A and B are shown apart, each in its own frame.
Chain A
Amino acid sequence: MAGRHPNGPKPAQITAGRIGLYAFLVVAALFFLLPLYTMVVTSLKSMDEIRLGQIFALPARLDLSAWTTAWSGACMGTVCVGIRSGFWNSVAITLPAVALSVFTGAVNGYALSLWRPRGANLLFGLLMAGGLIPYQIFLYPMVRAMANIDLYNSLAGIILVHVIFGLPLVTLLFRNYFVSVPEELCKAARVDGAGFWRIFFEIMLPIAVPMVVVVSMLQFTGIWNDFLLGLVFAGRDNLPMTVQLNNIVNTTMGERTYNVNMAATILTAIVPLAIYFLSGRWFVRGIAAGAVKG
């Protein structure tokens, strides 16, 4: 016995209500877990086993070949190189796009909330309106404009597009964060002769580290999971993983290789899932910050 805890929470009594509550939670948990379970077991089965139509059965024999095929041999149309290239494309798109958009968002939020130059409110209003409007209305002119400056179908182009479309959200989050920073801090630094950039890099950015983490995670999952912009702007050589995944699953000729499809699906989901599992608390904070104030 480790001793009594008279101040601990009162143990809940077992009542019909409590049992019902747990039953609800367990059933809900099964509903949420079932697809993940199904994906994993399907990816470990052979096609012969899949044809038996026992979607929930555990694999009779672990077959990892679907995973290697998904990674390096699955076909998209006539090209059979697996989802590997898409993975590296997604990395090459996401990392710079996140870094750039977080930096721009931080500068914007700082300038808009602590300096409020002429037209700051108008700019913020325009950005927020831009964030609400469906992408479809921007797409065609943007494709043309990007083509004119030789950025269409390029890595730099898709990165730029992500930074542009991320601006409303990242600016909103940083602005809301910096609004709560005492103005005196900024004023005192100005009296000491620090300018706009010095205050930003030496005072405000360090203060905003928690928000930088949150926004980076939001942007990372958002950009990694993007489909539409990658499809339109990335070009054949830079297609992100989500687009390649859809190509693998939905355009294969002949019999569908469900085990390969499911392995490829898990591979595509694994990076955002890892972020979520490794830093759940930050992820939740990011969602709450992005949602409640949006």
Chain B
Amino acid sequence: MPIKRKPNLSATIALLPTWFVAVVVFIGTMAWSIRLSFTNSTLFPSSTYVGFAQYSKLFSSAKWLASLQNVLIFGVLYVAGCLLLGFLLAAALDRKIRFESAFRTIFLYPYAMSFVVTGLIWQWMLNPTLGIQASVRSLGWESFVLDWVVNRDMAIYALVLAGVWQGAGLVMVIALAGMRGIEGEQWKAARIDGIPVWRIYVSIVLPQLGPALAAAGMLLAMGVIKTYDIVVAMTNGGPGNATEVPAKFIMDNLFGRQNLGLATAGATVLVLGVIIAVAPFRYAMHMRDRAKGAA
């Protein structure tokens, strides 16, 4: 039974700045932005209410639609790529490998670096005139093509490549920690039954890593919606609209094009997107906790 306590004054006062941030900064500014999205604000905020006009303008903008499509492609491939590569690396390192900590260090170091740095490194590697393409061609393979950053159809995959390079180590660390927590008894039993190692990883280890991998996936997915730096550093949205993303669209209209109404409408859509993505997950957790409480 929870103990009834007297509300403690010091504790309440200590939390006041945080209350201020939560209510005024988070909720207040969000409400302000949402309000602006229903006005015809351009450079300065206006109070002329225009209903959903900014939203219809937004969804008739080719650039916005392209950016939604791009972030979807990038997000799915980036999260899936990180999860897959990270899991494979963890499983390999879990096999009593020599130099394990050296390998672990190598796989994780990109995660310590910023997206700007990551974007610039890969821009350099994928530069068609001086990068990998030129190097391979000079070895004699004249028709070799790796021009992703300047190729309209491939630029988004260049971002995925750089993103996976940066983020796979995170999944590896989380998965490896999870694997080390699995009891040796299960391994022994499975080995006695003669189940091949890969099968043990797929059927016994993977399901137990579910929650940890889901958390890692969530973390990566939250980053996807915020994707901005890596695009600015690597392709700046180009070629054409090939790598435009919503976060960049919003920033451009907010500070570059002075199109407040449109930018805040875009931001509101992003927030709705997050709520729609997170709500079922939170609801499932809530129901699970309730079920646990009832049992």
Contact = CB atoms under 8 A, between A and B. Distances in A.
Given A50-B130, A136-B250, A140-B264, A35 B116 contact: no
Contact of B8 (A132, A133, A196): A196
Interface of B: 5, 7-8, 10-12, 14-15, 17-19, 21-23, 25-30, 32-34, 36, 45, 85, 88-89, 92-93, 95-97, 101, 103-117, 120-122, 124-125, 129-132, 134-135, 137-138, 165, 169-170, 173-174, 177, 197, 212, 215-216, 218-219, 222, 225-226, 228-229, 232-233, 236, 247, 250-251, 254-255, 260, 263-264, 266-268, 270-271, 274, 278
A206 interface: no
Contacts of B96: 9, 12
Contact of B117 (A197, A226, A268, A277): A268
A282 interface: no
Contact of B22 (A42, A130, A245, A280): A130
Contacts of A139: 254, 267
- Most chain A beta carbons < 10 A, residue from B12, B117, B130: B117
A213 interface: no
For chain A, the bracket of interface size reads 35 or more
Given A24-B92, A28-B89, A265 B229 contact: no
Query: Which residue, A133, A136, A249, has most C-beta atoms of chain B within 10 A?
Result: A136
A277 B105 contact: yes
A294 interface: yes
Given A246-B233, A276-B112, A123 B97 contact: no
A134 B270 contact: yes
Contact of B26 (A133, A226, A261): A133
B30 A138 contact: yes
A126 B114 contact: no
Given A53-B135, A224-B114, A133 B173 contact: no
A141 B107 contact: no
A39 B226 contact: no
Nearest to B196: A17
Given A130-B22, A228-B228, A55 B134 contact: yes
Contacts of A277: 105, 109
Contact of B268 (A35, A42, A129, A137): A137
Interface in A81-124: 104, 107-108, 111-112, 115-120, 123
A225 B114 contact: yes
A189 interface: no
Contact of B107 (A28, A34, A36, A262): A28
B125 A141 contact: no
Interface string A252-277: 00000010011001001100110111
A56 B14 CA distance: 56
17 contacts: A9-B96, A12-B96, A53-B130, A55-B132, A108-B14, A127-B26, A140-B29, A196-B11, A225-B114, A249-B120, A250-B233, A265-B121, A280-B101, A291-B170, A291-B219, A292-B215, A293-B215
Given A132-B278, A273-B112, A291-B174, 18 more contacts: A29-B103, A29-B106, A38-B121, A38-B125, A53-B135, A54-B135, A130-B21, A134-B247, A136-B250, A141-B33, A164-B21, A195-B10, A225-B114, A258-B124, A268-B116, A292-B177, A294-B215, A294-B218
Contact of B11 (A12, A115, A127): A115
A138 B134 CA distance: 44
B278 A32 contact: no
